[in-house]
């Protein structure tokens, strides 16, 4: 290693580290992934394994991680936070746009039978434009991986809330039934923008709340 290279490295270090080292300890850091102001991993509304994700400025989507499903969508009150944190628990505050009412689960229709799937949470990823949640859906040895991503921005959306879902490795002839297409009010469209009632391919589908 020559001296010139070392000198360049020394000059680069502050720049390379800038993105993740400028935060003051003890404060939320918008530059780090999982900023609690955008994604809250504390239990929501007394559901122990749950997560809350903010879309745009004031819309929150709450997921029940054990069911692999949205449990609540709400809009924060104007000028105040949509989540109240108390003793490491989060509580929604604002106008409820959607709240799960049924106990439906994901189900898979294969040749002739429609089976209820159990969900196993696999984790979440902060992508540039989305939060990605992943589950393994299974029944009797059959396993599917479900990806759901939530656009961070609400810019350009003509709907209250937009989500996107995709299932990996769906066999021809199989159909994945989302637990809340109807009668919960969510609209599902395929990658061509056509309304559908099930997922029958591995492309991204869009779920929206009018």
Of 148, 141, 135, the closest CA to residue 115 belongs to 141
Interface with other proteins (CB under 8 A), residue from 123, 141, 156, 183 = 123
Each as own residue / partner, the long-range contacts of residues 172-175 (CB below 8 Å, 24 or more positions apart, any chain) are: 173/110, 173/111, 174/108, 174/109, 174/110, 174/200, 175/108, 175/109, 175/199, 175/200
Stretch that binds other proteins, among 32-40, 55-63, 111-119, 149-157 (CB under 8 A): 32-40
User: For other proteins, what does the binding mask look like between residues 144 and 183, x meaning CB under 8 A?
Assistant: ----------------------------------------
- 143 contacts other proteins (rule: CB under 8 A): no
Contact in structure between 91 and 45 (CB atoms under 8 Å): yes
* CB distance 37 to 27 below 8 Å: no
Nearer to other proteins, 89 or 114 (CB): 89
Shortest distance in whole angstroms from residue 162 CB to other proteins: 21
Q: Which of 7, 23, 182, 189 binds other proteins (CB under 8 A)?
A: 23
State how beta strands 95-99 and 118-126 pair.
unpaired
Q: Which two tokens stand for residue 123?
A: 């984790």
Q: Please report whether residue 89 would count as binding other proteins according to CB under 8 A.
A: yes
34 binds other proteins, rule: CB under 8 A: yes
Contacts of 33 (CB under 8 A, 6+ apart): 126
Report whether the peptide linkage leading into residue 183 is cis, meaning its omega lies within 30 degrees of zero.
yes
Candidates 8, 9, 127, 143; binder of other proteins (CB under 8 A) is 127
The stretch near other proteins (CB under 8 A) out of 24-32, 73-81, 101-109, 185-193 is 24-32
Alpha helices in 37-183 (DSSP H): none
Report the nearest approach of other proteins to the CB of residue 95 (Å): 25
Helix (H, G, I), strand (E, B) or coil at 21: helix
Q: Which of 55, 69, 107, 124 binds other proteins (CB under 8 A)?
A: 124
Range in contact with other proteins (rule: CB under 8 A) among 2-10, 35-43, 103-111, 198-206: 35-43
Kindly list the residues in this chain that would bind other proteins in the complex (CB under 8 A).
16-17, 19-21, 23, 25-26, 28-29, 31-36, 39-43, 46, 48-49, 65-66, 87-89, 120-127
């Amino acid at each position: 290693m020559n001296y010139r290279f070392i000198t360049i490295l020394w000059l680069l270090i502050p720049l390379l580290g800038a993105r993740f080292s400028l935060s003051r300890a003890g404060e939320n850091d918008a530059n780090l992934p999982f900023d609690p102001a955008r994604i809250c991993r504390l239990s929501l509304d007394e559901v122990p394994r749950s997560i809350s994700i903010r879309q745009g400025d004031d819309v929150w989507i709450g997921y029940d991680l054990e069911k692999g499903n949205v449990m609540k969508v709400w809009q924060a009150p104007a000028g105040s936070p949509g989540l109240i944190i108390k003793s490491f628990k989060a509580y929604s505050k604002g106008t409820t746009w959607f709240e799960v009412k049924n106990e439906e689960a994901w189900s898979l229709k294969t040749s002739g039978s429609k089976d209820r799937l159990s969900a196993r949470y696999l984790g979440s990823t902060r992508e540039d434009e989305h939060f990605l949640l992943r589950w393994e859906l299974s029944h009797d040895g059959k396993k599917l991986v479900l990806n759901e991503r939530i656009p961070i921005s609400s810019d350009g959306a003509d709907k209250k809330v937009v989500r996107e879902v995709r299932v990996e490795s769906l066999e021809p002839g199989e159909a994945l039934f989302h637990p809340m297409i109807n009668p919960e009010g969510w609209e599902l469209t395929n990658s061509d923008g056509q309304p559908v009632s099930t997922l029958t391919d591995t492309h991204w589908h869009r779920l929206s709340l009018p």
